[in-house]
């Protein structure tokens, strides 16, 4: 197995828009740099590239352009390239959502930086041992939708709300980890899959959110050369906010550090129990699923035009009025959208890439029905079609199902993508357990002292 990791900077100029909220937010600084981080895997017969992008989402056009450049520079076919946004809500202007619009020049820059990261990963490939495992990080993520006393569902009803009956969906505390180290025991990088929104940092500075602290934790223990590819799990309805607790609100730098550091600890525990092998057969499949968009009722359009024609203070209702008008024009031009479903087999694990904000229940459905012992569901990948709620969520209501460009599809969209993912998984071959003896020696010379613990100094805590 040959593996290479590389990272490029995609931090936009200060003054660029930060998408991720209802209101237009102009950046005032950089808390931590944004990156495109690539892992290139080569089993001798097939090359694949898996890339994380510190962004709210990635457009399908951006993905197509990055893949074109990657194929030209590295001869990796497009179907062997997985590009996932980390879904940080403090990233650059890469999405058309609410009052934020994408910057075409920035999108072109990000596409070229993704390709550059893959090219550098190709150049740095070396013989490596691969470990794959699943750990647990409980108590970090919570479902943000609740069944209320009136029978409806509400998103973020508020801490201690007496009308809460129960959460409206599950969480997924599992942590998927693929770790790579070279023949000398140096860790090259890790792929980490976890289901929780990157909505912790907030503010007006660019930030990778809690994955920044995750990567920082892993580097301090596994070495500065170790890069982290963060792949968001099925977290369309899952965040860091515990609405059933009366503790402080889980936002800001301190909470981002807490979540990222705790997740890093779970990743390290998983790595410590791994068996590393010199090979992991690679397989890929992709399919395009056409999905029907919802139409905006004429009465809603009339009301939206009336509301926006009058003077008034900013309000969420005015934001949605604008969304309905924009969505109606898009639906008129293109009543369906094409969603790419991609599956990648890496040894006895599988990565399932979905181009939207998949609800957590759907992630569990894929994992439980997958033929692979370990299946990692990756969302916000290879495009963005918006929220993918369950049929039950559509019946209950709430923010994620409210009609807008961010929630534009018919209620069967999520189920159709899950079904296609399972169909593709069934076409892959699950390898037998490795016959070679795994590498179980410590990642340092036998007889020598373990590396000195560099740890986290108190001054590193915000």
The pTM of the full predicted model, rounded to 2 decimals, is: 0.93
- Residue 433: the pLDDT is 81
Q: How confident is residue 435, by pLDDT bands cut at 50, 70 and 90?
A: low
Q: Which of 385, 397, 325, 321 is nearest to 353 (CA)?
A: 385
H or E, element range at 447: none
Residues β-bridged to residue 228: 190
Residues β-bridged to residue 229: 191
CB 182 within 8 A of CB 218: no
Q: Which of 229, 8, 204, 212 is nearest to 110 (CA)?
A: 8
**Distance of alpha carbon 226 from alpha carbon 298, whole angstroms:** 54
CB 424 within 8 A of CB 271: no
Q: Give 31-56 pLDDT, tens digit per residue.
A: 999 999 999 999 999 999 999 999 99
CB 368 within 8 A of CB 325: no
Q: Which of 83, 86, 70 is nearest to 121 (CA)?
A: 70
- Residue 317: the pLDDT is 96
Q: Taking the mean position of all CA atoms in its chain, how far away is CA 453? A: 30
Residue 80 per-residue DSSP state? G
CB 213 within 8 A of CB 256: yes
**Distance of alpha carbon 239 from alpha carbon 221, whole angstroms:** 27
- Residue 436: the pLDDT is 53
CB 331 within 8 A of CB 318: no
Residue 88 per-residue DSSP state? B
User: Longest Cα pair distance anywhere in the chain, in angstroms?
Assistant: 78
SS (HEC) of 52-78: EECCCCCCHHHHHHHHHHHHHHHCCCH
Q: Give 336-371 pLDDT, tens digit per residue.
A: 999 999 999 999 999 999 999 999 999 999 999 999
| Token pair listed for 150 | 């009136």
- Residue 38: the pLDDT is 98
Starting from the edge strand earliest in sequence, which strands make up the sheet with 145-148, in order? 153-155, 145-148, 164-167
**Distance of alpha carbon 388 from alpha carbon 414, whole angstroms:** 5
Q: Give 61-111 pLDDT, tens digit per residue.
A: 999 999 999 999 999 999 999 999 999 999 999 999 999 999 999 999 999
H or E, element range at 84: strand 81-85
Q: Name every residue whose Cβ is closer than 8 Å to that of residue 319 and which is 6 or more positions away in sequence.
A: 22, 23, 98, 99
- Residue 287: the pLDDT is 98
- Looking up tokens 């943000």, which residue turns up? 144
H or E, element range at 435: none
H or E, element range at 94: none
CB 376 within 8 A of CB 233: yes
Least confident of 195-199, 274-278, 371-375, 434-438: 434-438
Q: Give 166-192 pLDDT, tens digit per residue.
A: 999 999 999 999 999 999 999 999 999
The whole-chain average pLDDT of the chain stands at 94
**Distance of alpha carbon 340 from alpha carbon 290, whole angstroms:** 9
């Amino acid at each position: 197995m040959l593996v290479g990791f590389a990272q490029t900077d995609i931090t936009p100029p200060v003054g660029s828009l930060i998408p991720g909220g209802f209101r237009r937010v102009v950046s005032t600084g950089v808390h931590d740099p944004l990156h495109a981080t690539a892992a290139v895997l080569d089993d001798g017969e097939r090359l694949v590239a898996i890339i994380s992008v510190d962004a709210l989402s990635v457009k399908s056009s951006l993905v197509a352009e990055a893949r074109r450049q990657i194929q030209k520079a590295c001869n990796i076919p497009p179907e062997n390239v997985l590009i996932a946004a980390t879904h940080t809500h403090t990233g650059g202007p890469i999405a058309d959502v609410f009052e934020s619009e994408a910057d075409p020049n920035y999108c072109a820059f990000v596409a070229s930086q993704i390709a550059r990261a893959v090219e550098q990963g190709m150049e740095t490939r070396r013989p490596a041992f691969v470990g794959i495992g699943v750990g647990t990080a409980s108590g970090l993520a919570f479902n943000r939708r609740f069944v209320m006393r009136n029978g409806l569902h509400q998103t973020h009803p508020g801490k201690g709300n007496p009308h809460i009956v129960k959460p409206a969906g599950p969480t997924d505390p599992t942590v998927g980890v693929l770790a790579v180290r070279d023949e000398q025991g140096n860790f090259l990088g890790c792929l980490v899959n976890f289901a929780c929104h990157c909505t912790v940092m907030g503010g007006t500075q660019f930030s990778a959110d809690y994955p920044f602290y995750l990567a920082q934790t892993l580097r301090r223990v596994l070495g500065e050369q170790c890069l982290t590819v963060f792949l968001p799990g099925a977290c369309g309805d899952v965040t860091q906010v515990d609405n059933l607790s009366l503790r402080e609100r889980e936002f800001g730098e301190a909470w981002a550090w807490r979540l990222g550091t705790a997740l890093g600890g779970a990743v390290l525990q998983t790595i410590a129990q791994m068996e590393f092998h010199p090979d992991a057969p690679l397989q890929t499949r992709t399919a395009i699923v056409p999905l029907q968009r919802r139409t905006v009722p004429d009465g809603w359009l009339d009301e939206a035009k009336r509301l926006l024609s009058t003077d008034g203070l900013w309000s969420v209702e005015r934001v949605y009025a604008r969304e309905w008008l924009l969505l109606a024009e898009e639906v008129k031009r293109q009543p369906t959208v094409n969603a790419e479903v991609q599956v990648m087999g890496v040894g006895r694990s599988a990565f399932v890439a979905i181009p939207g904000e998949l609800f957590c229940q759907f992630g569990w459905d894929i994992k439980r029905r997958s033929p692979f012992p370990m299946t990692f569901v990756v969302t916000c990948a290879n495009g963005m079609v918006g929220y993918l709620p369950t049929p039950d969520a559509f019946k209950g209501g709430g923010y994620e199902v409210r009609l807008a460009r961010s929630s534009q599809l018919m209620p069967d969209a999520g189920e159709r993508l899950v079904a296609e993912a399972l169909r593709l998984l069934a076409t892959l071959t699950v390898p037998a357990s490795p016959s070679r003896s795994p590498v179980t020696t410590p990642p340092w010379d036998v007889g020598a002292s373990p590396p000195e613990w560099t740890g986290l100094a108190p001054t590193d805590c915000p």
